[in-house]
C-alpha cells in the first residue's frame, strides 16, 4: 500500500484518541471485539506479549485486523539495557543509553555513529515484526539525588551531548523504518520518586529548566512523536502534573520547547496520576495531549477510557500524518553481521 493510500484509509474513520495494550501473546475474543468497537489510534506491546518473532508478528497482524488498517501504529519500549520488551535469547540485547554518553566523553564521533547504528539495528528488528514506533530515545537529564528510574536509560547529563546522541538514535530508528518517541517531555531527570508509584515533584525555576531539562527536547523539536512526563513542576503548575496541565503543555511543550509533533501521554494507569481511568484520560486530552496511552491491558479500565474519549482531533490527526510522512516504508536492508561487527569495533575503539 502506498503512503498516500495508507493516510486516506486511516482518516476515513478517525480513530479514538487512545493507544491500548493487550493482556497476553494473542488476543482473546473479548479483546478483538472491544478493539473493533473502540477503534483505538494504536497499540503497545510489553514483555508479556512477546514470546517469539513468529508469535509477535501474528499478534501484530491480529491487532491491525481489529481496526482494519495495515499501518496502524504498534508501539514498544525497546530502549536497550533494562528497558527492553524484546529480550535475549530471542532478540539482541542492546546496551543501555548511558553507554553512548560514556563513549562520547572519549570519542564523540564514534559515539554518535555507534548510537545511530545501534538504533538502526533496533529499528531493523522491530520493522521485521511489524512494530513501527519505538518509545525511545530518553532525553531526560539525571541530576545528583534523583531517583534511579531514569538512571542509565539517560544518554548523558549534558543537554547538548544528550541532544546530539538523541538525534542519532532518532535517525537510526527512522533509517530502520520505525518512528521514535522523545521521552519524557519536558524532562523527568530531576524526579526524586518513581512516577509508576507516586507523583514526583520538581521545584526548579523555569530559567533553570530552560537551560537544562528542556534543552534536549527543544533541539529535537522537529521529531514526530513525544511522550509526556507525569511530574508536578511546581513553578509552572502547582496542582496538576504535566500530563494533565494545560499550562505545561501549551506554554512549555508547545511554546518554550516548540514541539508540534504528536504528543502522547505516558501510561495513565501509573500511580503518579489520581482519579478513575476515564477521568484521567479525559483530563490528558483536555490539557492538550493528542492521544492517551494506557498499557496494562485491563479490559475494565480500557472500556472506561474508550467511553471517555472522542476520536482524534483534526490537529492531532494532522500531527500524526506529518509524522507518517517521515516514516520510511521501504528501509534499506541492513547487513546484520556487518552492523554487529561495526558496532562492536566502534565501542572497543572508543
Q: Which residues are catalytic?
A: 196, 266
| Contact residues for 145 (Cβ-Cβ < 8 A; gap 6+) | 192
- Alpha carbon distance 44, 60 (integer Å): 10
Helix (H), strand (E), coil (C) string for the chain: CCHHHHHHHHHHCCCEEEEECCCCCCCCHHHHHHHHHHCEEEEEECHHHCCCHHHHHHHHHHHHHHHCCCCCCEEECEEECCEECCCCCCCCCCCCCHHHHHHHHHCHHHHHHHHHHHHHHHHHHHHHHCCCEECCCECCCCCCCCCCCCHHHCCCCCHHHHHHHHHHHHHHHHHCCCEEEEEEECCCCCCCCCCCCCCCEECCCHHHHHHCCCHHHHHCCCCCEEEECCCEECCCCCCCCHHHCHHHHHHHHHHHCCCCCEEECCCCCCCCCCCCHHHHHHHHHHHCCCEEEECCCCHHHHHHHHHHCCECCHHHHHHHHHHHCCCCCCCCCCCHHHHHHHHHHHHHHC
Residue 343 near residue 110 (C-beta atoms within 8 A): no
Greatest pairwise CA separation for the chain in angstroms: 55
Give the three cell numbers for residue 155.
544518554
Amino acid at each position: 500500500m502506498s503512503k498516500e493510500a495508507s493516510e486516506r484509509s486511516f482518516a476515513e474513520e478517525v480513530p479514538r484518541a487512545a493507544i491500548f495494550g493487550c493482556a497476553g501473546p494473542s488476543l482473546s475474543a473479548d479483546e478483538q471485539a472491544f478493539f473493533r468497537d473502540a477503534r483505538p489510534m494504536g497499540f503497545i506491546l510489553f514483555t508479556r506479549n512477546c514470546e517469539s518473532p513468529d508469535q509477535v508478528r501474528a499478534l501484530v497482524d491480529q491487532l491491525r485486523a481489529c481496526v482494519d488498517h495495515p499501518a496502524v501504529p504498534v508501539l514498544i519500549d525497546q530502549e536497550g539495557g533494562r528497558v527492553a520488551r524484546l529480550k535475549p535469547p530471542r532478540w539482541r540485547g542492546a546496551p543501555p543509553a548511558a553507554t553512548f554518553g560514556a563513549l562520547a566523553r572519549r570519542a564523540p564521533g564514534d559515539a554518535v555513529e555507534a548510537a545511530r547504528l545501534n538504533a538502526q539495528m533496533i529499528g531493523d528488528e522491530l520493522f521485521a515484526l511489524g512494530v513501527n514506533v519505538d518509545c525511545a530515545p530518553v532525553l531526560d537529564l539525571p541530576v545528583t539525588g534523583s531517583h534511579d528510574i531514569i538512571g542509565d536509560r539517560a544518554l548523558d547529563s549534558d543537554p547538548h551531548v544528550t541532544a546530539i546522541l538523541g538525534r542519532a538514535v532518532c535517525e537510526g530508528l527512522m533509517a530502520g523504518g520505525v518512528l521514535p518517541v522523545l521521552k519524557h517531555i519536558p524532562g523527568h531527570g530531576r524526579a526524586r520518586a518513581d512516577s509508576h508509584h507516586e507523583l514526583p515533584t520538581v521545584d526548579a525555576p523555569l530559567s533553570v529548566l530552560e537551560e537544562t531539562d528542556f534543552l534536549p527536547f527543544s533541539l529535537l523539536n522537529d521529531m514526530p512523536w513525544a511522550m509526556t512526563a507525569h511530574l508536578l513542576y511546581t513553578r509552572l503548575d502547582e496542582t496538576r502534573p504535566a500530563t494533565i496541565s494545560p499550562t505545561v503543555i501549551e506554554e512549555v511543550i508547545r511554546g518554550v520547547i516548540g514541539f508540534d509533533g504528536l504528543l502522547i501521554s505516558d501510561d495513565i494507569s501509573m500511580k503518579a496520576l489520581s482519579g478513575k481511568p476515564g477521568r484521567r484520560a479525559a483530563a490528558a486530552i483536555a490539557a492538550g495531549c493528542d492521544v492517551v496511552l494506557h498499557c496494562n491491558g485491563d479490559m475494565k479500565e480500557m472500556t472506561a477510557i474508550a467511553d471517555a474519549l472522542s476520536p482524534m482531533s483534526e490537529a492531532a490527526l494532522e500531527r500524526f500524518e506529518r509524522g507518517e510522512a517521515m516514516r520510511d516504508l521501504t528501509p534499506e536492508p541492513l547487513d546484520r553481521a556487518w552492523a554487529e561487527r561495526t558496532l562492536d569495533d566502534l565501542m572497543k575503539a572508543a
